[in-house]
Structure 1
Amino acid sequence: MTPRDASDANDNRWSDLDRPPLNAAALRRALVREGGLWSQVDVVQRTGSTNSDLVDRAAKGEAREGAVLIAEEQTAGRGRLDRQWTAPPRSGLFFSILLNPTEVPVARWGWLPLLTGVAVATGLSRSAGVDTALKWPNDLLVTVGGEERKTGGILAERAGDDGVVIGVGVNVSLRADELPVPQAGSLALAGATGTDRDPILRGVLRSLEQWYVKWRRTGGDPAASGLQETYAAGCATLGRVVRAELPGDRSISGEAVAVDGDGRLVLATENGVQEPVGAGDIVHLRPA
């Protein structure tokens, strides 16, 4: 199926009146401006993966830095380790952005998913009134009925030699009977002040622009930009005993004590060694 702009004709446009479609034209007017980061904003009714589509557009020269691609429905949305991400149409925000941080050393590009987490959490707090925490490295957590639930995730992929596509998925209006797994949540279930996706998306993208510009101006320095400190302050993983499930079927357990200058999670193990973890799944074993 060829993706279509969601502002165009859509057979099921008003099939769920609690979930109106995004207004692509209004989003462009609000976000695309001279001198700003966002260069184009496209909304498609349905596609497999916005990340795959935007990586492909970048490879063909059809997208430049600041391109935003949003889907009302993803049929092949992916999380880390190629896990599937599914949700009903228009129930969340599923989008990807293209960045070209060429003035930042490539060694610091690993901070981009963490930067996105900080920016999305900040944007959700402002626009939806929901306190959102971060689970290292790229999960967005909310509290539902006193329990920690995952309401979103972030996936970064290289796009050529000088580009990075970052995908974001956030469950906005999912009801309890629509959750894909019991551990999932949504902004609505977490008590959001509203679930109108247009202002929520604008708030998130404005927050992303602010953080990215600040980070880029400091050459990607996580300390000078305030990113490292802010991430640590909002990270629900720090101070907890966790298990890191690493590539190669290896795992280590310990207390998560810091996020270092490379964005790695530092674990203090039982034998007194501090071990940085750069990749892997983190399981929270008990509360802080």
Structure 2
Amino acid sequence: MDTPWNDLARPPLRSAALRRALVGPGPWSRLDVVASTGSTNADLLADEDAPDGAVLVADHQTGGRGRLGRTWSAPPRSGLAVSVLLRPQRPVAEWSLLPLVTGLAAVDALEALGVRTRLKWPNDVLVEGPDRPGKVCGILAEARTGAGGARVVLGAGINVSLRTEELPVDTATSLALAGARSCDRDTVLRRYLRALRARVDAWGAGESPLGDYRALSATIGQDVRAHLPDGSVLEALAVDVDEEGRLVVEGSGGARTSLSAADVVHLRRR
């Protein structure tokens, strides 16, 4: 019989214990764990009645989505697919900083587990050696307005126990390969959700995340190749992230451009 307990190294999340720790007197209003779904982001966005602070976690996400419509998947219970729904009181125009806020929360959580990380604009969390450098977490923020009101979903996919042969690309890694102190998914999830609540609350109170983000950026100071949504490609030096969370790049002639969306490749390290 195929059950979640066939692989004892990858048990299912303990939903009742997570709710006790994180809901009610904890930082979130609702927490649901499902065995499998296509996309936790899509599910929360479709739930027009979901309250501010609702959390959805999947033991297995079969149709995870990244930027530019990319899809990805991982073996069941080898990672965390977690989305939170927010109804921020700050103007919608300021929500563009929320992907940066989410990245900082992921760094807070993973650093506490002994994994040195930095942020690649706009949505990747990178492990910096020595054991296994590479992408350990991807972030996707999606906003929607309509009958259910204005809301944003912050999704994160964290590679927890993936082995080398299970990684989707050579540039990926996992907490296990990076030597994390704990690869218990309940522990990782608790640390991440508590860090995210703290970062979101600070942003909601008017605190800018940009100082911390710039200090942790692996992109600022790099020569980059930016693949833009219209299909064009721009090569330039990344020099800053602006007040709207856009990447500021400088061409060879000194002209600066702010990018709100792009697939960025680092061409050389600082």
- 1:140 paired to 2:125: yes
Structure 2 equivalent of residue 123 of structure 1: 109
Structure 2 equivalent of residue 198 of structure 1: 186
Structure 2 equivalent of residue 158 of structure 1: 143
Alpha carbons 2:161, 2:183 under 8 Å: kept:
yes
Structure 2 equivalent of residue 7 of structure 1: none
Structure 2 equivalent of residue 6 of structure 1: none
Please point out which of 7, 12, 15 is paired with 1:24. 15
Q: TM-score, normalised by structure 1?
A: 0.89
- Shift of residue 159, structure 1, vs aligned partner: 3.2
Instruction: State the AA in 1 paired with 2:45.
Output: V
Alpha carbons 1:144, 1:185 under 8 Å: kept:
no
- Greater CA drift, 159-168 or 18-27: 159-168
For 1:183 and 1:238, locate their aligned partners in 2 and report how far apart those are by CA, in whole Å.
19
- 1:107 paired to 2:61: no
- Shift of residue 82, structure 1, vs aligned partner: 1.4
- 1:281 paired to 2:263: yes
- Shift of residue 163, structure 1, vs aligned partner: 0.3
Q: Percent identity?
A: 52
Structure 1 equivalent of residue 83 of structure 2: 96
Structure 2 equivalent of residue 73 of structure 1: 60
- Shift of residue 143, structure 1, vs aligned partner: 3.2
- Shift of residue 148, structure 1, vs aligned partner: 3.8
Deviations 1:78-105 (A, max 9, x none): 111111111000100101100000x211
Deviations 1:150-196 (A, max 9, x none): 11111111233410011110100000011111111111111111100
Instruction: State the AA in 1 paired with 2:240.
Output: A
Q: TM-score, normalised by structure 2?
A: 0.95
For 2:51 and 2:27, locate their aligned partners in 1 and report how far apart those are by CA, in whole Å.
10
Q: Secondary structure at the match of 2:235?
A: strand
Q: Secondary structure at the match of 1:29?
A: helix
Relative to structure 1, the CA distance from residue 144 to residue 189 in structure 2 (aligned partners, 3 Å threshold; closer, same or farther) is farther
Instruction: State the AA in 2 paired with 1:158.
Output: A
Deviations 1:42-99 (A, max 9, x none): 1100111111111111x2x2x1111000000011111111111110001001011000
For 1:227 and 1:125, locate their aligned partners in 2 and report how far apart those are by CA, in whole Å.
17
For 1:67 and 1:124, locate their aligned partners in 2 and report how far apart those are by CA, in whole Å.
22
Instruction: State the AA in 2 paired with 1:82.
Output: G
Please point out which of 33, 42, 53 is paired with 1:52. 42
For 2:33 and 2:213, locate their aligned partners in 1 and report how far apart those are by CA, in whole Å.
30
Instruction: State the AA in 2 paired with 1:153.
Output: G
* Cα RMSD after superposing both structures: 1.5
Q: Secondary structure at the match of 2:177?
A: coil
Where do 5+ consecutive residues of structure 1 fail to align? Answer: 1-9, 219-224
